[in-house]
A and B are shown apart, each in its own frame.
Chain A
Amino acid sequence: MTGPATFDNASASDAKSEDAFSVARTKALIEQIRKLDRQLNVFVHLDEAGALESARIVEAEIDRGKRRGPLHGVPVAIKDIIDVAGMPTTCQSAILRDNIPSSDAEVVRRLRDAGAIILGKVATHEFAMGFPSFDLPFPPARNPWNPEHHPGGSSSGSAAGVASGMFPMALGTDTGGSIRNPSAACGIVGLKPTYGLVSRRGLFPLAQSLDHVGPMARTVKDVAALLQVIAGHDPLDPGSAIGDDQAYDRYLGNGVRSLRIGFVRNFHVDDYVCDPEVGRALDAAAGLFAELGATVEPINLPPLSDFANTHNVILYAEAWAVHADWIRKFPQKYGRSTRRRMFTGAFLSAGDYVSAQHARRHLIASVEQALTKYDVLLCANSLDPAAKIDDEAEVSRTYPRQARTPFNLTGHPAMSIMSGLSSAGLPLSLQLVGRYFDEARLLGVAAAFEAATPWHDRRPPLHLRS
Chain B
Amino acid sequence: MNTLEADKNQGAESLLLVKRAGLELAWEMFPQEIVAAIASARQIAQGVPKPAGPNEEPWPPMQVQGTP
Contact = CB atoms under 8 A, between A and B. Distances in A.
Interface of A: 242, 302, 305-306, 308-310, 312-313, 316, 324, 327-329, 331-332, 336, 339-340, 343-349, 352, 354-364
A331 B26 contact: yes
Contacts of A340: 33, 36-37
Contacts of A344: 37, 40-41, 44
Interface in B33-68: 33-34, 36-38, 40-42, 44-51, 56-60, 68
Contact of A355 (B36, B37, B51): B51
A360 B58 contact: yes
A316 B23 contact: no
Contacts of A302: 49
Given A339-B33, A344-B40, A324 B22 contact: yes
Nearest to A347: B41
B22 A354 contact: no
Name which of A332, A344, A356, A364 has the most chain B CB atoms within 10 A of its CB. Answer: A344
A355 B48 CA distance: 7
Nearest to A324: B22
7 contacts: A306-B49, A308-B47, A309-B47, A332-B29, A339-B33, A352-B41, A354-B58
Interface string B3-45: 0000000000000010001110110011001101110111011
Given A343-B34, A347-B37, A328 B48 contact: no
Contact of A310 (B26, B48, B57): B48
A368 to B, nearest CB: 12
Contact of B58 (A332, A343, A345, A357): A357
Nearest to B41: A347
A361 B58 contact: yes
Interface residues of B, number: 30
Contact of B47 (A305, A316, A329, A331): A305
B39 to A, nearest CB: 9
Contact of A361 (B17, B30, B57): B57
A331 B30 CA distance: 9
Contacts of B36: 340, 343
A343 B37 contact: yes
Decide if the interface of chain A is mainly helix, strand, loop or mixed.
helix
B30 A328 contact: no
Nearest to A348: B41
Given A328-B22, A356-B48, 11 more contacts: A242-B68, A306-B47, A309-B44, A310-B49, A313-B44, A324-B22, A343-B33, A345-B41, A346-B41, A354-B58, A355-B50
Given A343-B34, A347-B17, A331 B29 contact: yes
A346 B48 contact: no
A104 to B, nearest CB: 24
A226 B68 CA distance: 28
Contact of A346 (B21, B50, B56, B60): B21
A344 B42 CA distance: 9
A347 B21 contact: yes
B44 A316 contact: yes
Contacts of A345: 41
Contacts of B37: 340, 343-344, 346-347
Name which of B22, B29, B36, B47 has the most chain A CB atoms within 10 A of its CB. Answer: B47
Contacts of B41: 316, 344-348, 352
B53 to A, nearest CB: 10
Nearest to B30: A331
Contacts of A327: 23, 26
Contacts of B40: 344, 347
Contacts of B44: 309, 312-313, 316, 344, 348
